[in-house]
Amino acid sequence: MNKYLRVASSCHQAGVLALVFSGFLGAGAAFAQPLPAVAPVNVVVVSASAQLEVPQDWVTMTLSTSRDGSDAAAVQSQLRQAVDAALAVAKPQASAQQLEVKTGSFGVYPRHGSNGRIVGWQGSAELVLEGRDFVRISTTAGKITSMGVGNVAFSLSREAQQKLESEVQASAIERFKAKAVEVAKAFGFEGYTLREVSVSPADQGERPMYRMRAASVAQAPADASIPVEAGKSLVTVSVSGSVQLR
C-alpha cells in the first residue's frame, strides 16, 4: 500500500506544479498583451507664417549667338570665335560676387531638308554674366559685340536669401508661440506644451527668379550699357505643429 500511496502522492504533486506553472504562464501572457493606446486629448494644431519683401540683389545676364552653315566644323569654329571674343571683353572685368563670368550651352546640330537628309548645320553658344554689380554687368554686356543679350534674370543672392530666411523664420516662430498662447487661453488653459513642429520656407530653397527680355547688343551702339532694373522678392517662412494644452 505504501508503494501505491507514494506513487499517487508524486502524481498529485506533479499536477499541482503543472497547475502553478500554467498559472505563471497565463499571468505572463496577460502581462505581455499591449495596453490599449490612449488617444491624446486637449491637442490642437497651430500654424503661423511671416514674410518680407526685399529688393533683389543678384542679376544673371545670358548672352547668346547662333551660326548656320553647310559645314559643321566651320559653324563650330565661328561659335568658338564669338565666345572667345566675348570672353576677352568680359574676363578682365570679372570680380567675385560682383561680376562672375561663365560659359553656357554650346552645341552644333544638323539641319534636315524635306527629304530627311542633312542640308546644313546650325549651332548656338551662350555666355553668362552674373553678380551684384548691376552697372558693371550691364556695361560689360554692352561692350560685347559678338553676342547678344538673350534674357536677364533677377533674384536674391544665396547669402541674402539665407540671412532673410533666418530673420523671417524667427518672426514666424514668435507668431506661432503667441498664437499657441492665445489659443490655450481661449480654451481656458494656462499654457501649452509643444508636441511637434515643422518650419519651412515657402519657396523650398529655390531662388525666386523674374525674367525679362533685353534688346540685342548687336543692335546697340558700342559701349552702350544694357538698361536693367531689379524687382522685389517675397521671402516667406511657415511654422505649423501641434501643442498640448495644459
105, part of any domain: yes
DSSP secondary structure of 161-205: HHHHHHHHHHHHHHHHHHHHHHHHHHTT-S-EEEEEEEEEETTTT
8, part of any domain: no
Helix boundaries (H) for the chain = 2-32, 72-90, 134-143, 158-186
CATH number of the CATH domain containing 65: 3.30.70
Q: Is the pTM of this model over 0.85?
A: no
Predicted local confidence at residue 205, as pLDDT: 38
Using alpha carbons, select from 56, 219, 60 the residue that is nearest to residue 138. Answer: 60
6, part of any domain: no
Which domain, by its residues, includes 220? 57-156+209-229
| Residue 180 confidence (pLDDT) above 60 | yes
Using alpha carbons, select from 167, 164, 145 the residue that is nearest to residue 226. Answer: 145
pLDDT band of 224, cuts 50, 70, 90: low
| Residue 213 confidence (pLDDT) above 50 | no
129, part of any domain: yes
Q: How far is CA 116 from the centre of its chain?
A: 43
Strands 100-112 and 192-201: unpaired
Question: Sign (positive/negative) of CA torsion 174, 180, 183, 184?
Answer: negative
Predicted local confidence at residue 203, as pLDDT: 52
25, part of any domain: no
- The three three-digit cell numbers of residue 143, written as one number: 561692350
- The three three-digit cell numbers of residue 114, written as one number: 524635306
Predicted local confidence at residue 161, as pLDDT: 87
181, part of any domain: no
d(CA 79, CA 87): 12
Count of the separate structural domains present in the chain: 1
72, part of any domain: yes
d(CA 121, CA 111): 5
Predicted local confidence at residue 26, as pLDDT: 55
86, part of any domain: yes
User: Cβ–Cβ contacts within 10 Å for residue 61, how many?
Assistant: 24
pLDDT band of 59, cuts 50, 70, 90: very high
Residues 154-171, mean pLDDT to the nearest whole number: 90
Q: How far is CA 232 from the centre of its chain?
A: 19
